[in-house]
Structure 1
Amino acid sequence: MRREKFPAVYIMASGFHGTIYVGVTSDLIGRVWQHRNGAFRGFTDRYGCKRLVWFEAGGDMAGAIAREKQLKNWLRDWKLALIEAENPTWRDLAEDFGFDPLLKTPGADAAEAG
């Protein structure tokens, strides 16, 4: 059975207030799987951006690409505010799609608490 695809802009993070990556896709679940499994060599793999912390779905692909470009031009503080408006704890939203929780690295709880 095929998953329904829909345009989405998303933000992946390495952890709470960590490195963030803005992307666009027509298959959010598939793209999250790719990020989590290191299917892409590059920025998200190098910086461990495996946590889905924000996404916006709907509209068409052209609109999603335009929104992605807009967000990529935003200051980091604006992106953090966008994430925290809907996800103040930076919870991994991928778990809502059935993904297993990410394993915590030693000291991650202390870093996230501070």
Structure 2
Amino acid sequence: MAYHVYMLASRLHGTLYIGVTNNLARRVHEHRSRHSPSFTATYGVTRLVWYESYDRIIEAIEREKALKKWRRNWKIRLIEEMNPDWSDLYGTLAGWTG
């Protein structure tokens, strides 16, 4: 089973959210559907702009915790190394249901 650390954004250089999950497509879909009151729903943070995969949950959780301590400009640099245009990567995921 793969585990994923991911970042969502409200827009280019907008509000960021960092999370961890074992099903990236499902979790991003949950954020996008805004069914429950949450940080991502309140601030419109629905665009998947970055993610990494890990074999072990402990590694993913450690990475998530580390990223949450990073300075904002470091997070932006990390996003732009993978996704310079801040495109929404949700549609590229296997298991995406649209």
Q: Distance in 1 between matches of 2:33 and 2:61?
A: 24
1:34-113 to structure 2, matched below 5 A, reads 34-97=30-93, 98=96, 100=98
The size of the alignment, in residue pairs, is: 96
Does the aligned pair in 2 maintain the 1:34–1:40 contact within 8 Å?
no
Q: Distance in 2 between matches of 1:39 and 1:16?
A: 24
Taking CA–CA contacts closer than 8 Å with sequence separation of 6 or more, which of the two structures ends up with the larger relative contact order? 2
Structure 1 residues 51 and 99 mapped into 2: Cα distance closer, same or farther (>3 Å)? farther
Larger radius of gyration: 1
With normalisation by structure 2, the TM-score equals 0.92
Q: Please list the CA deviations of residues 47-86 of structure 1 after superposition, one character each: whole Å capped at 9, or x if unmatched.
A: 0010000000122111100000000000000000000011
Q: CA RMSD in A?
A: 1.3
Q: Please list the CA deviations of residues 94-114 of structure 1 after superposition, one character each: whole Å capped at 9, or x if unmatched.
A: 0112464xxxxxxxxxxxxxx
Unaligned runs of 5+ in 2: none
Q: Distance in 1 between matches of 2:52 and 2:36?
A: 22
Does the aligned pair in 2 maintain the 1:6–1:28 contact within 8 Å?
no
With normalisation by structure 1, the TM-score equals 0.79
Unaligned runs of 5+ in 1: 101-114
The percentage of aligned residue pairs carrying the same residue is 46
Q: Distance in 1 between matches of 2:97 and 2:10?
A: 16
Residue identity in the other structure for 2:86: W
Higher strand share: 2
SS at match of 1:29: helix
